[in-house]
């Protein structure tokens, strides 16, 4: 298609958290415990090209990539979910409008900058977001088109979504960004290195780039292989009511926009809407998915069909795994905790209670201190709001720690009665990075899970000097 495929130098994240904190030195700069989460190869969806480049959104960033471009050679179905924060950033407003006006059709590109959120920036910020979209549209107009003039006449709607992440309240250095978009376009490639560089370009206080890819099949075409890939960023200001800060998923399966929208909502409710780092919801949260159908096969139009159900399961599991990387990279985090609420009156009640436990500072600090203070968990269950009457009955509630080593669960409370806790075993369980808290409400048959991390001294240090 006339685009060169460079071999970008793999720059890895430094341990010091700062915007686009990517070191150009050696792989050892990723914290030892996080290196296992960075892929060394991948299988990426057909028809998508990506790039990451440096434009210097923050003056202090002199070399690290901070602008990412993702483009499909052919128009894609698109769906997205956005923050419910009332102070919605300009990119959120612009991208939502693009999805609504196009009805989720003919979207081809996503342009993302890190280093500045373009949030609470007034009319000027809105103009900047639109300018990023216009420049990207101009660059990709001829990308993959047999007849550019015909394609241009076909629709006057934008084919680009825009995302920004970083400090709130500051204007973008828009001239730098607009100059950088054609550069990113020239760097487009389908290589693993390009996908990883794009994932690095959207990072802020992240300590490692968050990228996953995998293949799958569908019942109607068992001999055909499809791919899905995704990247996300986020380590703080994480307690979404949609996604988490920024996330992008791409697949070469053919999915109609209404079905894609339904599948994304189902996946997000069980993944990105079920994680928490610090209980704060960002102004910029956006998770988008593009499906270009480049792998062929029968388009999925019905989520209740065999292909629809299979695709929904693929996206749910994929989104869940991607969202977990955010929790594992939580600012100052030392633990990855799943709270699993079972035998609940309803899914909503189970999720509300799990969410309440996940965002409790007292629960999070106790886990950091390796203190089996189950009273804090019980307290959070008791003050959970907006649960129906009868959802929590103290005499039927049980709480336990479930170790990751496959050992027996450590019962802390059984049907409202406290257990004699083996403190040595409790400490042994809490020494591990991964932990499950199991809450059995004994009031129904539904369940829901939430994933979160602990609060450490490092979280306070990071956020005490965030803008510097």
28-33's contacts with Cβ under 8 Å and 24+ in sequence apart are 30/207, 30/208, 31/207, 31/208, 33/433
Q: What 3-state class would DSSP assign to 318?
A: helix
What are residue 299's phi and psi, to 5 degrees? -60, 140
Query: In the structure encoding, which two tokens stand for residue 370, read together?
Result: 């390796």
428-445: burial string, b at 16+ Cβ within 10 Å, e else: ebbeeeebbbbbbbbbbe
Reading the block at residue 326, the tokens are 């955010």
Q: What is the 3-state secondary structure (H, E, C) of 235-265?
A: CCCCCCCCCCCEEEEEECCCECHHHHHHHHH
DSSP bridge pairs for 68: 52, 112
Give the whole-angstrom CA distance, residue 33 versus residue 284.
28
Identify each DSSP E strand in 93-157 by its residue range: 107-116
Q: What does the alpha-carbon distance between residue 76 and residue 86 come to, in Å, rounded to a whole number? A: 29
CB neighbour list of residue 255: distance below 8 Å, 6 or more residues apart: 77, 263, 291, 293, 299, 300, 311
Burial of residue 357 (number of CB atoms within 10 Å: 0-12, 13-18, 19+) = buried
Nearest to 57 by CA among 172, 184, 205: 172
Q: Collapse the DSSP code of 149 into the 3-class scheme (helix H, G, I; strand E, B; otherwise coil) and give the result.
A: helix
Catalytic residues: 244
């Amino acid at each position: 298609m006339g685009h060169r495929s460079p071999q970008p130098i793999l720059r890895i994240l430094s341990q010091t958290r700062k915007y686009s904190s990517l070191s150009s030195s050696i792989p050892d700069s990723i914290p030892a415990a996080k290196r296992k989460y960075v892929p060394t190869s991948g299988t990426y969806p057909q028809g998508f090209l990506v790039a990451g480049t440096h434009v210097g959104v923050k003056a202090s960033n002199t070399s690290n990539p901070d602008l990412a471009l993702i483009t499909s050679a052919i128009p894609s179905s698109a769906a997205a979910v956005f923050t419910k924060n009332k102070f919605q950033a300009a990119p959120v407003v612009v991208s939502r409008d693009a999805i609504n006006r196009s009805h989720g059709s003919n979207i081809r590109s996503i342009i993302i900058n890190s280093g500045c959120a373009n949030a609470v920036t007034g009319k000027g910020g809105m103009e900047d977001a639109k300018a990023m979209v216009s420049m990207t549209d101009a660059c990709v107009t001829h990308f993959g088109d047999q007849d550019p003039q015909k394609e241009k006449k076909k629709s006057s709607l934008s084919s680009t979504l825009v995302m920004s992440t970083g400090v709130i309240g500051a204007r973008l250095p828009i001239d730098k960004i607009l100059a950088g978009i054609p550069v990113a376009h020239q760097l487009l490639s389908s290589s693993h290195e390009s996908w990883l560089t794009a994932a690095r370009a959207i990072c802020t206080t992240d300590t490692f780039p968050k990228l996953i890819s995998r293949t799958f099949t569908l019942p109607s075409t068992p001999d055909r292989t499809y791919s899905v890939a995704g990247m996300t960023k986020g380590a703080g200001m994480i307690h979404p009511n949609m996604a988490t800060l920024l996330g992008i998923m791409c697949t070469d399966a053919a999915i109609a926009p209404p079905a894609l929208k339904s599948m994304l909502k189902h996946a997000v409710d069980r993944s990105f809407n079920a994680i928490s780092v610090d209980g704060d919801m960002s102004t910029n949260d956006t998770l988008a998915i593009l499906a270009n159908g480049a792998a062929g096969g029968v388009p999925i139009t019905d989520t209740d069909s065999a292909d629809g159900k299979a695709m929904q399961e693929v996206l749910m599991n994929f989104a869940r795994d991607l969202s977990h990387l955010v929790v594992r990279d939580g600012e100052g985090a030392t633990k990855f905790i799943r709270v699993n609420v079972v035998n609940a009156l309803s899914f909503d009640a189970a999720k509300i209670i799990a969410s309440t436990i996940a965002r409790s500072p007292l629960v999070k600090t106790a886990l950091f201190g390796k203190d089996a203070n189950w009273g804090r968990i019980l307290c959070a269950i008791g003050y959970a709001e907006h649960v129906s009457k009868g959802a929590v009955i103290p005499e039927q509630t049980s709480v336990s720690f479930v170790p990751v080593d496959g050992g027996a669960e450590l019962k802390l409370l059984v049907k409202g009665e406290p257990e004699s806790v083996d403190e040595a075993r409790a400490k042994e369980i809490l020494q591990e990075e991964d932990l499950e808290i199991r809450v059995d409400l004994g009031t129904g048959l539904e369940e829901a899970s939430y994933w979160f991390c602990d609060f450490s001294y490092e979280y306070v240090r990071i956020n005490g000097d965030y803008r510097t």
